[in-house]
Amino acid sequence: MYIVFLAGGIASGKSTVARELERLGAWRIDLDRISRDVLEPGGECTLAIADAFGRDLLDPNTGALRRGLLAKRAFASEDAARQLEKIELPYIRRGLEQALSQDACASAEPPCAVVEIPLLDRMEDSLGMADEVVCVTCPLAVRRERAIGRGMCGEDFDVRAARQPSDDYLRSKSDVEIANDGDEKDLASKVHAWWDAHERDGWKASGKRDVMHG
């Protein structure tokens, strides 16, 4: 099965692209969900984090991580944040490998699996798993306006966006760029063009980078 890593910053339109690809027939995998799954109560990753950041992070009744307290400790410094990533990432990669090894459909295998990657820079060591890396880019000011329109405060957007890879970084690591610089109809047409091209080529890696503008 053809594996696509789909990357994009907050409010870039990445999830919109992923949903459209799923509608066209792709198997959609959300890395955020895998990240949450590895933090299940009693799991190896959960216990490793508690050993590193304090056993009081575990709820005494359920064994679940106290996410708010973990965030305060893990993001108090760059060193602490890197320590948390060093613990989590091997489990996340393993979870992704397991997901990709499973049968996506009992009756027929989809032509491709699309993995939504929220932070591509954290997954550089896993890029070899993908046949193609696609990034969705959008001007920062437009993304900020969209996020605020959805109820996010501007300051929160600024903090989150600053922690994410830049569009220039995403372009440097991607085979294809989908420029979300128009309306939803325009974005959908680019997604369909990408899909149709792969359908014609039989889902073979092209080995070249492309940019899809309006």
pTM: 0.85
Q: How confident is the model at residue 106 (pLDDT cuts 50, 70, 90)?
A: very low
Q: How confident is the model at residue 91 (pLDDT cuts 50, 70, 90)?
A: very high
Separate counts of helices (H) and strands (E) for the chain = 9, 6
The pLDDT, as a whole number, for residue 28 is 94
CA distance 171 to 169: 5
The pLDDT, as a whole number, for residue 103 is 53
The pLDDT, as a whole number, for residue 53 is 95
The pLDDT, as a whole number, for residue 206 is 53
Nearest to 157 by CA among 147, 167, 170, 169: 147
Whether the predicted pLDDT of 104 surpasses 90: no
pLDDT in tens, 23-63: 999 999 999 899 999 999 999 999 999 999 999 999 999 99
Whether the predicted pLDDT of 105 surpasses 50: no
Residue recorded with tokens 């965030």: 71
Helix, strand or coil, per DSSP, at residue 206: coil
CA distance 178 to 138: 9
Q: How confident is the model at residue 110 (pLDDT cuts 50, 70, 90)?
A: confident
Share of the chain above pLDDT 90, in %: 71
- Six token digits for residue 197: 């091209």
| Residue 115: its H or E element | strand 112-117
Q: How confident is the model at residue 108 (pLDDT cuts 50, 70, 90)?
A: low
Question: 122 Cβ partners below 8 Å, 6+ apart?
Answer: 85, 89
- Side-chain-facing half-sphere of 171: CA atoms under 13 Å: 10
Whether the predicted pLDDT of 109 surpasses 70: yes
Angle at 143 between CA 141 and CA 149, to 5 degrees: 105
pLDDT in tens, 114-142: 999 988 998 998 899 999 999 999 999 99
CA distance 167 to 173: 10
Whether the predicted pLDDT of 210 surpasses 70: no
Question: 109 Cβ partners below 8 Å, 6+ apart?
Answer: 1, 103
Look over the chain and give the mean of its residue pLDDT values, rounded to a whole number: 89
Helix, strand or coil, per DSSP, at residue 103: coil
Say if residues 74 and 80 touch (Cβ distance below 8 Å): yes
Whether the predicted pLDDT of 212 surpasses 60: no
